[in-house]
Amino acid sequence: MTSMIAIRGARIFDGSDWHEGKVLLLDGDRFSGIVARDSVPEGVQNVDYDGQWIVPGFIDLQVNGGGGAQFGDVTSVDAIRTITSAHARFGTTKLLPTLITDTPETTERALQAGQAAFEAHVPGYLGLHLEGPHLSLARKGAHDPALIRPMEAEDVERLLRFRAGAGILLTTLAPENASLQQVRSLTAAGILVSIGHTDTDAKTAQAYFAAGALMVTHLFNAMSPLTHREPGLVGAALDAPQVFAGMIADGYHVDPIAMGIALRAKAGPGRIFLVTDAMSPLGTDMTGFMLNGRHIFRRDGRLTLADGTLAGADIDMLGCVRTAVHLLGLPIEEVLRMASLYPAEAVRLSGSHGRIKAGFVADFVALSPSLDHVATWIDGKRS
């Protein structure tokens, strides 16, 4: 009997086009192809998703926690597994556990956990995102100001040491606390650099893009805004064709009008992609949690400090997809690309992730036509 699996009965979106009346074939952890019903080999295992949609798996590049685990409070393979499992229930097939500003010791432990998760092939684990601690105090958001500091030689060395062993390695930093030469050193080694939590002007942002920083963290939030005389990081990111930008589509972090304007204005081929910025309560009934010794309140779809400062988001990736469709009126095809193909392109994995295509990793989501979650498949296995 063959090891192939045939996914039948669904309408299939491959990342570009819809396929009607076809069968999706899986061979191990890879897609084998989309074929006619009479071309399915004999002896395959059949799985029926009659009347549902099959779409590329969601990729989330900014995930602070989920399932009750906050990455940083707990830095272990088990914590990463808890987080990836929690997000898989909402269609996320690959993610970057994200460590917000913390001590060098916690950062070291997080990198060690990432390396262990990579070696253990934890389903859904793609790599790590270190959001800080080299940020701007002026745009700190919910990051602990006592832990924000300049990037030193030891910090660069630490990232370089774990580059090969932890999977994708992404770091968010601010020009106020990291130099152009440090960015060049990191990107030359294959570490991805995103600019965020900064009050930088547009000219400085352009210099950092030229040095190799090709991403912007949660567009509009915790960054210098677009104004008519100083375009800030927002304007520089929208104007730079090579730069990708994450955006939290929960309806709270960015007003739908601003989201729509940004999407229409963004120069390509760099794109705006969806991120959740989710925290530990995702997938639980928690009403709050502690972050760097401060209580975070969970109310009405928002996570905030006591003073109302947003502290991450209370949304999953499927929720972001629904927001983009219902509040922005975007075509479902483009929204699905914002949740899968564009983040894959941002981290240079568009040759293996983000599409349903022969030879690509078999990550996909089964959805109802009304955008309800039906099933998540990671590496060719139902999660």
277 is catalytic: yes
Of 27, 277, 316, 363, which residue is the catalytic one? 277
Mean pLDDT by 10 residues, the chain (383 residues): 87 98 97 96 95 98 96 94 98 98 96 97 98 97 96 97 95 98 98 98 98 98 98 98 98 96 97 97 91 89 91 95 96 98 98 98 98 98 95
Query: In the prediction, which pLDDT does 2 show?
Result: 66
Domain 58-346: give its CATH superfamily: Metal-dependent hydrolases (3.20.20.140)
How far lies 248's CA from each of 211, 261, 266, 270, in Å?
26, 15, 16, 17
Query: In the prediction, which pLDDT does 199 show?
Result: 98
Closest Cα partner for 29 from 341, 383, 378, 356?
A: 378
Query: In the prediction, which pLDDT does 55 show?
Result: 98
Query: In the prediction, which pLDDT does 1 show?
Result: 47
b/e string for 21-50 if b means 16 or more Cβ within 10 A? ebbbbbbeebbbbbbeeeebeeebeebebe
Angle between helices 317-326 and 332-339 (to 10 degrees): 150
Write the CB contacts of 295 (distance below 8 Å, at least 6 apart in sequence): 288, 289, 305, 306
Give the residue extent of every domain in the chain.
Answer: 4-55+357-382, 58-346
Query: At the top level of CATH, which class does the domain 4-55+357-382 belong to?
Result: mainly beta
Q: If you write DSSP's letter for every residue of 21-72 in order, what string do you get? A: SEEEEEETTEEEEEEEGGGPPTTPEEEE-TT-EEEEPEEEEEE-EETTEEBT
How far lies 307's CA from each of 75, 250, 310, 311, in Å?
28, 20, 9, 11
Q: Is the pTM of this model over 0.95?
A: yes
